[in-house]
Amino acid sequence: MPILDDLSKGLKKGIEEAGKGLKEVGEKASDAVKTFEIQQEIDKLEVEIKSIKIEIGDVVLALMAKGMRLDPTLTELAVKIEGIKAQIEGKKAKIEEIKND
């Protein structure tokens, strides 16, 4: 029967197209997962860089505390850090005052 043959061919074609679509979706999902994993690796490396920068800053502050002359840019940044540390200490003192009242 030609109607059943046409219906069968149409269903077969539809199933094949659906299979192709599912494969494409699976590949895109896999790519998204790979991209996410690589981005996480990048984020970890950037955190590592920030950690090293903090270490550099600590070394600069230690050298300044020992009286070593530093590049003016480093000295300026170190002075800013010391000013912020003083602000933090002032705020901690206020917290202690509030607790003791």
* Tens digit of each residue's pLDDT, the chain (101 residues): 566 666 677 767 777 777 777 777 777 778 888 889 999 999 999 999 999 999 999 999 999 999 999 999 999 999 999 999 999 999 999 999 998 98
Residue type, 8: S
CA–CA distance, 88 with 64 (Å, rounded to integer): 20
The dihedral region occupied by 62, where left means phi > 0, alpha psi between -120 and 50, and beta the remainder, is alpha
CA distance 84 to 72: 18
CA 31 vs CA 21, 28, 41: distances in Å = 15, 5, 15
Buried/exposed code over 4-30 (b: 16+ C-beta within 10 A; e: otherwise): eeeeeeeeeeeeeeeeeeeeeeeeeee
What is the model's pTM? Answer: 0.58
The pLDDT score that the predictor gives to residue 12 is 76
Report pLDDT for 4.
Answer: 65
